[in-house]
């Protein structure tokens, strides 16, 4: 088949893909606009009392005030730092351990009982112990994020490692590959998409963990902002904190997608 024929066959597919992506983007924008309009109408025409749902204008005003005095950006930065430290520490521990458990059954047999015991415990249950062990400083908040995140990363990593096609492993061994080469060239590339998916899912869980810790024992961060605004009866500021959490997680998810595209070029090409 000539090069001209190949280009002619690929170009319509790319055009359809481009149109489809823009249709999805338009649907996203339309959905957000519709919900925003419903929110505005509900408060404007008195369908919902302001004590239960403030008007969008009041939320924007509260956001401008907290941005002007610098408190909002400070709280975002404080929470993001706690999440980053706890999440990275959890990944550093859980990813290597999960790979070992996925390829070596004795390791899985040793760790599984502890995972079964700890997995049902939500992050909030660790707050009393971490306060006793670490006080109410930064280390305690990071520990809460770690305790609420590492098991989920571990489970994703174990399952992703175990799902690597055994035919690929046998083929590599038949070709004389060493265990190290099999790990580097077969297991890690095969498990990496699932591991990154687990990291993206767990990142949102990490934010839930840090917010729980900040609402109970913190004077700074988005969780503390929301809790203090609740005590003051400032519902618009509560919604500002909630929206900032969502936007921050969206930005973090976008960064994770960039990392995924860089680490997994074959997955990117497949999606195109």
Question: From CA 264, how far away is CA 214, in angstroms rounded?
Answer: 35
Give the phi and the psi of residue 170 in degrees, each rounded to 5: -65, -40
Own/partner pairs, 98-101, CB within 8 angstroms, 24+ separation: 98/153, 98/154, 98/155, 98/156, 98/157, 98/158, 98/160, 98/161, 98/195, 99/157, 99/161, 99/183, 99/187, 99/188, 99/191, 101/154, 101/157, 101/158, 101/161
Q: What is the pLDDT of residue 230?
A: 87
Question: From CA 232, how far away is CA 113, in angstroms rounded?
Answer: 45
Cβ count within 10 A of residue 133: 11
Tell if the pTM clears 0.85, that is, is over it. no
Q: What is the pLDDT of residue 6?
A: 43
Q: Tens place of pLDDT for every residue, the chain, 272 residues?
A: 455 544 444 466 666 777 877 888 888 889 888 988 998 888 888 888 878 888 888 999 999 998 888 889 999 999 999 999 999 999 999 999 999 999 888 999 999 999 999 888 888 888 888 888 988 888 999 999 999 999 999 999 999 999 888 888 888 888 887 878 888 888 888 888 899 999 989 998 999 888 888 888 778 889 889 988 988 888 999 999 999 988 988 888 888 888 888 887 766 555 44
Q: What is the pLDDT of residue 13?
A: 62
Question: From CA 192, how far away is CA 157, in angstroms rounded?
Answer: 8
Question: From CA 161, how far away is CA 151, in angstroms rounded?
Answer: 15
The count of residues in the chain is 272
**Where are any strands of DSSP class E within the chain?**
none
Q: What is the pLDDT of residue 11?
A: 62
**What ranges do the domains of the chain cover?**
1-50, 54-271
CA 220 from chain center: how many Å?
21
For residue 152 the two structure tokens come to: 């989920």
Architecture of the domain whose range is 54-271:
Orthogonal Bundle (1.10)
Please list the helix, strand and coil fractions of the chain in percent, rounded to the nearest 5, in that order.
85, 0, 15
């Amino acid at each position: 088949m000539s090069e001209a024929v190949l280009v002619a066959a690929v170009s319509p597919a790319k055009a359809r893909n481009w149109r489809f992506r823009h249709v999805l983007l338009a649907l996203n924008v339309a959905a957000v606009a519709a919900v925003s309009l419903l929110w505005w109408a509900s408060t404007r025409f008195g369908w919902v009392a302001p004590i239960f749902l403030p008007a969008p204008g009041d939320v924007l005003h509260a956001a401008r005030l907290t941005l002007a005095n610098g408190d909002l950006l400070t709280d975002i930065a404080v929470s993001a730092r706690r999440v980053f430290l706890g999440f990275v520490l959890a990944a550093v521990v859980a990813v290597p351990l999960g790979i070992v458990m996925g390829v070596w059954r004795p390791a899985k047999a040793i760790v599984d009982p502890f995972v079964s015991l700890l997995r049902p415990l939500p992050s909030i249950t660790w707050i009393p112990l971490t306060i006793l062990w670490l006080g109410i400083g930064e280390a305690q908040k990071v520990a809460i994020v770690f305790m609420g995140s590492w098991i989920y990363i571990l489970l994703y990593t174990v399952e992703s490692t175990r799902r690597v096609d055994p035919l690929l492993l046998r083929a590599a061994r038949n070709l004389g590959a060493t265990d190290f080469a099999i790990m580097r060239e077969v297991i890690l590339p095969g498990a990496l998409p699932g591991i990154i998916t687990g990291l993206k899912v767990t990142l949102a869980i990490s934010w839930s963990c840090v917010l729980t810790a900040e609402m109970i024992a913190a004077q700074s961060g988005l969780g503390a902002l929301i809790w203090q605004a609740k005590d003051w009866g400032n519902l618009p500021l509560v919604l500002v904190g909630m929206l900032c959490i969502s936007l921050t997680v969206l930005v973090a998810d976008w960064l994770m997608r960039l990392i995924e595209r860089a680490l997994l070029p074959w997955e990117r090409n497949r999606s195109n």
